[in-house]
């Protein structure tokens, strides 16, 4: 049984650039898209991060980036870690992790349709929540649709 402190130490050894962002106590690790699968598998197998709490994305047009966020939790040490991947907004592409964490299958389908990220090797790349004939990716900041009208700013 590994404690949260030991987990934290092992994380620091493998990822020297570990950081803690304001407010949320979980450590953040940024990895390259090509190294994502290898690192998530390592976290699951070596540090017992067996539970992918959720994965989602953040659209950052100012930096011309889409940032993927994977939040992992370990049932053994009760530690959390956030793994981030930064992708270019055009042609955002990352390998799927749905074979490492089965729950990623649906989360990736949702992220793909909402943010326009391609998950290479995904077993079922259909849309999950959106209508099949909807063009565009609604959670991108510059999404526009004839039915979408911006509210006047609150005073």
Partner 1 sequence: MKENVTFGDRDKNVTFGDRDETSPPATSDEFLLNIGPQHPATHGVLRVVVTMDGEVVKDIVPHVGYVHRGLEKLFENRTYEQIIPFTDRTDYLSAIANNFAYVMGVERLLGLEVPEKVQYMRVLMAELNRIASHLLWLAAYGLDMGAFTPFLYAFRDREEIVSMIEEASGGRLTTNYFRVGGFVHDLPREFFPRLRKFISRFGKAVNELDTLLVENAIFVARTRGVGVIGRGRAVSYGMTGPCLRASNASFDVRRDLPYSVYPLFDFEIPVGRNGDTWDRSWVRIEEMRQSLVILRQAMEGFPEGDHKARAPRNIEPPAGEVYSAVEGPRGETGFYIVSDGTRKPYRVKMRKPSFSNFSALPEILRGLKIADLVAVMGSLDLVVPEIDR
CB 67 within 8 A of CB 55: no
Q: What character string, x for contact with partner 1 (CB under 8 A) and - otherwise, covers 8-37?
A: -------------xxxx-x-----------
Count other C-beta atoms under 10 Å from residue 16's C-beta.
6
Q: Mask: binding to partner 1, 33-72, rule CB under 8 A, as x and -?
A: -----------------xxxxx-x-xx---------x-x-
Q: What angle do CA 128, 123, 94 make, to 5 degrees?
A: 85
**Is 133 among the residues that bind partner 1 (CB under 8 A)?**
yes
Identify residues 80-109 at the interface with partner 1 (CB under 8 A).
80, 101-103, 105-106
Residue 121 in the binding site for partner 1 (CB under 8 A): no
Q: Shortest approach of partner 1 to residue 123 CB, angstroms?
A: 8
If one counts every other C-beta atom within 10 angstroms of the C-beta of residue 2, the result is 16
Does residue 75 interact with partner 1 by CB under 8 A?
yes
Cα distances from 98 to residues 14, 40, 59, 101, 102, in angstroms, run: 23, 11, 22, 5, 5
């Amino acid at each position: 049984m590994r404690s949260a402190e030991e987990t934290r130490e092992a994380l620091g050894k493998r990822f020297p650039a570990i950081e803690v962002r304001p407010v949320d106590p979980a450590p953040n690790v940024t990895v390259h898209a090509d190294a994502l699968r290898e690192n998530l598998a390592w976290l699951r197998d070596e540090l017992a991060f067996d539970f992918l709490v959720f994965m989602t994305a953040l659209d950052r047009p100012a930096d011309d980036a889409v940032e993927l966020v994977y939040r992992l939790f370990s049932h053994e040490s009760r530690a959390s870690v956030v793994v981030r991947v930064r992708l270019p907004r055009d042609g955002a592409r990352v390998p799927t992790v749905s074979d490492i964490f089965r729950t990623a299958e649906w989360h990736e389908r949702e992220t793909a349709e909402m943010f326009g990220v391609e998950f290479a090797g995904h077993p079922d790349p259909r849309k999950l929540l959106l209508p099949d004939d909807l063009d565009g990716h609604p959670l991108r900041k510059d999404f526009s649709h004839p039915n979408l009208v911006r509210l006047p700013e609150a005073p």
